[in-house]
Amino acid sequence: MHYSLISSWVLGLGLALGGVAHAQDFPNKPIHIITEYSPGSGGDVFFRALATHFSSLSAQPWVVDNRPGAGAMLAVDAATRATPDGYTILVASQNVPVTRLFLSKGRQIDATVDLTPIAPLWRSTLLVVSNASFPVKSFKELIAYAKDNPAQLAYTTSGIGTQGHFAGAGLELLTNTQMVHVPYTNGRQVMDVIAGQAPFTLSIVPFVLQGVKAGQLRVLAVAADQRLDSFPGVPTVSEIVPKFEPPPTWTGIFGPPGLPKKYVDYFNDIVQKGLANPALKQKASSDGFEFIPNSAQQFALQIKRDIEITGRLAHAAKIQPND
């Protein structure tokens, strides 16, 4: 009996240690990171800073593979065809999983079927920003100006069907105003507001930060659920327009379809540890990004919620899918 107990204990210990050894076997080679961002772009530079920290946590390099193009479909398509062995991960924005559903008649991606949601990384907050010389000092005054000058107040965005366009359309609908949307495709939507070619823009923080610091731009409102630490005195849009729903502006990580839960849990844990790093949190804040520490399940629910919100905004903007 004594021998049997010892044998059972040794066997159990061996199985336990074997399980630990098996868990520590992953990862044993570099992690391939496919991203939709162009080399040197804001999203690419910021993610590479995160990837360096993630690499140290996983003791393996995170090798970034930039695949921009086709509205982010090149990167997403590559991830949908990857082997779900934990060694290929996708870094993507809301473009394909959410926005594309309302812009394109082409191939659609269901983020919970064609991909495996792992974790959101950050949110790029939209700001309502005017030329500093424009005779409007607050968001309330901007709405009043739009009502007094129907179809005359212009705002710039980075293009049709972008988050700025969705937000602008939502504002027009909820405030019963008519404004003129000026979509740009050359990236000059902020520069032309600084130059006085248009009175205001809807843009994410990194694109306007320099102009704000230089006194060329004035931040009127934050198109997000809460105020930003970097602009604590600036109200959210919903404080002035209660039913306003900010369009999604996030970046997250996904696995190929059918990625086993053990890998989902592993990468989500790495992300949570990385996003809790004080130095990275400070960099995010200074660069105009907000970390989103959520579970894989919460991420999947967030995507579903964002599809509903974007659908309402697309309807308000009278956007019809093409191609």
**Phi, psi dihedrals of residue 237, rounded to the nearest 5°:** -60, -40
Torsion of CA 72, 93, 111, 298, to 10 degrees: 170
| Residue type at position 59 | A
What is the pLDDT at residue 287? 77
What is the pLDDT at residue 323? 65
Among 42, 86, 83, 88, which Cα is nearest to 64's? 88
**What is the distance, to the nearest Å, from the Cα of residue 238 to the centroid of all Cα atoms in its chain?**
20
Mean pLDDT of 201-219: 94
Lowest mean pLDDT among 17-21, 35-39, 161-165: 17-21
Residue 144 has pLDDT above 70, yes or no: yes
DSSP state of 30: P
What is the pLDDT at residue 24? 60
What is the pLDDT at residue 19? 39
Domains of the chain: residue spans and CATH: 9-124+249-316 (3.40.190.150), 126-240 (3.40.190.10)
> Which residues make beta-bridge pairs with 254?
90, 117
> Which residues make beta-bridge pairs with 182?
156
**Spatial separation of the C-alpha atoms in residues 313 and 102, rounded to whole Å:** 10
Using CA atoms, how far residue 223 sits from 18, 33, 227, 245, 288, in Å, is 51, 30, 9, 8, 13
DSSP state of 104: B
**What is the distance, to the nearest Å, from the Cα of residue 47 to the centroid of all Cα atoms in its chain?**
11
The string of pLDDT tens digits covering residues 75-122 is: 999 999 999 999 999 999 999 999 999 988 888 999 999 999 999 999
Among 125, 289, 290, 140, which Cα is nearest to 220's? 140
